[in-house]
């Protein structure tokens, strides 16, 4: 069973997982799917056919439009922005032109970041606050700026990784070792 604040609008025909909490003035449309144990902040809009995974945290003032897939354990910071049409016009109906954007497991989207549609965000990637993403982001990558550029790598727990001459780095919190090979980061198993 999920819980929702009395001011939230939960339309019939959506699916909401157990343990999910939906706060003030949020709206979930028919056909939206939200997994278990999510936290949906104030004034969040989730459109029809949006998919939200398990244990996702969506902070205040975020709108999720058609074409968006949010995988498990993603963090969406306050007022981050998603688009779903590359060339919107008020006088042109482009509902059949929605582009898919996938935010993969464990990724973080910082406050006030903007993501142009059609650009996937890799596993455990970290999009800094205020960044404007105009191209896909690699797993574990740290991107910032306008337009966003990669400035480093992050661990699964959100710590900046510092690679040695062997191409290895260790997360300060978890002790997990990562390897940088051919421009990609992988956890060492």
Contact 153, 161 (CB under 8 A): yes
62's CB contacts (< 8 A; 6+ apart) are 41, 44, 45, 76, 78, 79, 80, 82
Q: What is the pLDDT of residue 95?
A: 87
Q: What is the pLDDT of residue 19?
A: 98
d(CA 155, CA 147): 23
Cα torsion through 173, 119, 81, 83, rounded to 10 = -160
Contact 22, 37 (CB under 8 A): no
pLDDT band at 43 (very low <50, low <70, confident <90, very high): very high
Q: Is the pLDDT of residue 59 over 90?
A: yes
Whether the pTM exceeds 0.75: the reply is yes
92's CB contacts (< 8 A; 6+ apart) are none
Q: What is the mean pLDDT of the chain?
A: 97
Name 82's bridge partners: 115
Q: What is the pLDDT of residue 62?
A: 98
Instruction: Give Dmax (Cα) for the chain.
Output: 56
Burial 8-44 (b: 16+ CB within 10 A, else e): bebeeebebbeebebbebbbbbebbbbbebbbbbbbb
**Tens digits of per-residue pLDDT, 147-157?**
999 999 999 99
Q: How many residues does the chain have?
A: 189
């Amino acid at each position: 069973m999920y819980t929702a604040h009395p001011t939230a609008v939960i339309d019939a025909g959506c699916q909401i997982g157990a343990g999910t909490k939906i706060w003030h003035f949020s709206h979930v449309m028919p056909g939206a799917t939200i997994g278990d144990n999510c936290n949906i902040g104030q004034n969040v809009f989730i459109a029809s056919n949006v998919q939200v995974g398990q244990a996702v945290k969506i902070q205040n003032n975020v709108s999720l439009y058609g074409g968006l897939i949010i995988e498990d354990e993603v963090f969406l910071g306050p007022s981050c922005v998603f688009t779903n049409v590359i060339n919107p016009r008020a006088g042109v109906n482009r509902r059949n032109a929605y582009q898919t954007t996938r935010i993969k497991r464990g990724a973080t989207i910082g406050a006030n970041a903007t993501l142009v549609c059609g650009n996937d965000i890799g596993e455990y990637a970290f999009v800094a606050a205020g960044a404007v993403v105009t191209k896909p982001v690699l797993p574990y990558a740290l991107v910032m700026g306008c337009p966003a550029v990669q400035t480093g790598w992050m661990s699964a727990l959100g710590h900046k990784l510092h690679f040695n001459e062997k191409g290895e780095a260790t997360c300060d919190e978890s002790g997990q070792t990562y390897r940088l090979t051919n421009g990609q980061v992988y956890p060492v198993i």
